[in-house]
Structure formats: C-alpha cells, structure tokens
Amino acid sequence: MLATLRRHPALQRLLLIGPSAAVIGFFMVVPLGLMVAVSLMGRNIYGGVHWGDFTTEAYVKFLFERNLDDTLAFNPVYLQIFLRSFWLSLSTTVVALLFGFPVALYMTLQREPYRTVLIFLVTVPFWTNLLVRNYAWVLLLRDTGLINGALLGLGVIDHPLPLLYTPFAVAIGLAYSFMPFMVLPIYASLEKIDFRLVEAAYDLYAGRLTMLRRVVLPLARPGIVAGSTLVFVPCLGAYVTPALLGGSKTMMIGNLVAGRFSEARDWPFGAALAFFLLAMVLLAMLLQALRSRRQAEAG
C-alpha cells in the first residue's frame, strides 16, 4: 500500500484532500445548492415551496413589483436595504479600523507579559452573549439612558438626543461587536515586524507620520485586509444588532431575509435575497484575492 502511494503522488494528494473536500461539499455545497433550488421554486402561501414549479419570480421581485395588469414597475425598496447594509458595514469597518489599529499597535509595543494580558482583555467581550451586549447598548443609548442622562445632568443638552433606533446606533453596536476581529489580525501582523526597520526610518530623519505611512502600514497590510474582511462580511449578515439598535427604521439584509422566511412565509424570495448577498460577497472576495495575487507577482 505504501509503495503504491509513493508511486502515485496524485493518489496521495487525493487521500489528503479528500476528507476535507467531502466535509466542505456536504456542509457548504449541498446547502448552497438547496438554497438556489428553493429560490427557483414557486411560493407556497403557508410556507415552503411548490417543488417542480420552476420560476424566476423571486429574482424579478428584487427590483420590480407586479401591477394589477401584470406589468412590471421598478421597486427600489429592497435595493435600498442592500445599499444601506453595505454602507453601514463599510462605516463599521472604517470605525473598527480607526480604533483597532492604534490598539493593536499599542499591544505590540508592550513587553511580553503585558501583551498576553491585553490579548486576554480584547477577547473578554466574547465571554458575554451577543444579545446581552446589544441590550447593554440599548440601556446606554435610549432617551433615559446613561449617555442622555449624563448630558442632561451636565447641562450640555436641553432634551434627549435621538440616539437609539438610528443608523448611528447600529454602526456603534456593530463596531463594538466585531472590534476584536479587527484588532487581533492587525496585532498578528504587527507582531512580526522587525522594529529595527522603524529605528532605521528614524535614523534617516523620517517623522512619526512618515514612518507610520512608509514602514508600519505597508507591513501591517495583510492584517488590515484580513481584519477588514472579518468585520465587513459578518456585518452584512448581522441580525441581532440591527434588530435591537436599529428597530424597523434601519433594517439590514439579515433582518430582511429572516422576515421573508418567518413573517412573510416567502421562502423563494428569502433564498434569492440570501443568494444575492452571497454572490456579492464572493465576488468582492474573489476580486480582492486576484488583486492581492497580482500585487504579489508584481512584487
């Protein structure tokens, strides 16, 4: 058996890759195929689908609605929800990067025992359920919450600020929830930096901003890209935070998909929306991978 494997390297690779490929195929490809199949079936008014009733109505419904005379009219409602979700996810990623990068850099500059303590503190929020953490933000941002109460007590404002159930509240909640996903990858990249390069930059009369822009940021780019991806992609499908902090005024894609399945009982349309989201995310990641590959080949 071993001699046969040595003579056939392709068989060795197949045996090594086969188990993981089977797991991915069963737990990823099969559900995706089922989702596509459901999106192309007719809707059952009581939930589920009419198997065998092939139609693309669910995809048409994303941009159009049917009038009483069966003509199509442009309906931008669902497109607006998608654009809002992308905007909030991008804003959350930028906020997480602006706060996460200095934290990761500070952690990197500390001595080894303190680094371990800081990493532990960054991961502490994961010990608390996401629902509880978002309810805490509800208590902070509501009209009678801690923030408005403090501002009213200091005389800064005369009436409570409308903080809760706004895009601002959703962005803050998402940034808080996914901040560790930004900090840890950037820290992993910064930790590998040879800081003698920083000393060399100072020896060449580079200022702090120049050193940060020309030395640290390029070397930390893999961590920044990884952290931005780990924040942006989960934000697109977030459900708990928009539901609690955004209310019905700031619906995102995750809330829309869940509503199509649970409330509207429109399984084909819910599956089509989920497939739209998945296709956009995969396309963006593919373009980023191709861009990184071209940069690596050019380098």
Return the structure tokens found at 35.
Answer: 């989702």
CA distance 218 to 178: 23
Question: Looking at residue 27, what is its pLDDT?
Answer: 82
* Band (43; pLDDT cuts 50, 70, 90): confident
Predicted confidence (pLDDT) per residue in 161-213, tens digit = 888 888 889 999 999 999 999 999 999 998 888 877 877 887 777 777 888 88
Q: C-alpha 69: how far from its chain's center?
A: 41
22-29's contacts with Cβ under 8 Å and 24+ in sequence apart are none
In 60-183, beta strands by DSSP E: 64-66, 72-74
Predicted confidence (pLDDT) per residue in 249-270, tens digit = 788 888 999 888 888 888 899 9
Neighbour tally for 98: CB within 10 Å? 11
Question: Looking at residue 183, what is its pLDDT?
Answer: 93
All domains of the chain, ordered by start, with CATH? 90-255 (1.10.3720.10)
Question: Looking at residue 47, what is its pLDDT?
Answer: 78
Q: Which H helix or E strand runs over 268?
A: helix 267-298
**In 3-state terms, what secondary structure has residue 137?**
helix
What percent of the chain is modeled with pLDDT above 90?
16
Return the structure tokens found at 109.
Answer: 């500059």
Return the structure tokens found at 124.
Answer: 């502490």
Question: Looking at residue 7, what is its pLDDT?
Answer: 66
pLDDT at 116 over 90: no
Question: Looking at residue 4, what is its pLDDT?
Answer: 63
* Band (8; pLDDT cuts 50, 70, 90): low
Neighbour tally for 179: CB within 10 Å? 21
Mean pLDDT of the chain: 85
Question: Looking at residue 98, what is its pLDDT?
Answer: 93
* Band (11; pLDDT cuts 50, 70, 90): low
CB 272 within 8 A of CB 78: no
Alpha carbon distances (Å) from 109 to 32, 103, 168, 192, 214: 44, 10, 32, 12, 18
Mean pLDDT across the stretch 48-71? 84
Q: Which residues contact 36 (CB under 8 A, 6 or more apart)?
A: 271, 275
pTM, two decimal places: 0.83
CB 87 within 8 A of CB 252: no
